[in-house]
Amino acid sequence: MSKYEKRAEVVATLSPEEFYVTQESGTERPGTGKLLNNKEPGIYVDIVSGEPLFASADKYESGCGWPSFTKPIEPAHVAEIEDRTLGMVRTEVRSTHGDSHLGHVFPDGPQDRGGLRYCINSASLRFIHRDDMEAEGYGDYVNQVEDAA
């Protein structure tokens, strides 16, 4: 059994926007997310389950209005699902254990870094600074974190 799971007591503490995004597959307004311009070194985890999702080393400025990453830090923690809403076909990304809606992945990322753009809502993430990772139980990921670009 994974140590990461969706817990009702955590869901009950989410802000209205965090609940809308993670539990109702909503989207925050572009350019408004608290983590959009974060350039600190660390990791981004699911706000509901705590599972590690993305590293600052893989974050980049895409200009889309949401935090963008080239790849997950732990691919098994990011599920990709076909999304046919809004009259288009996209690939939704959800956290595997928390089942939180995170955003979508698109094939228009930096080609030299794999070509993918994980376009993620800040409201679905909690940032853990590199200096706090060991204390918060994420020490195994410290070597995957470097200063963000």
Phi, psi angles (nearest 5°) of residue 120: -120, 135
**Helix, coil or strand: residue 87:** helix
Tokens of 12: 């009950």
Question: Which residue type sits at 135?
Answer: A
Catalytic residue among 73, 105, 116, 119: 119
Find out whether 57 and 28 touch, Cβ atoms under 8 Å: no
Active site residue 64: no
CA–CA separation, 65 vs 133, rounded Å? Answer: 27
Residue entry with tokens 């670009």: 149
In this structure, the dihedral spanned by the alpha carbons of residues 22, 27, 29 and 35, taken in order and rounded to 10 degrees, is: 40
Residues annotated catalytic, as ranges: 119
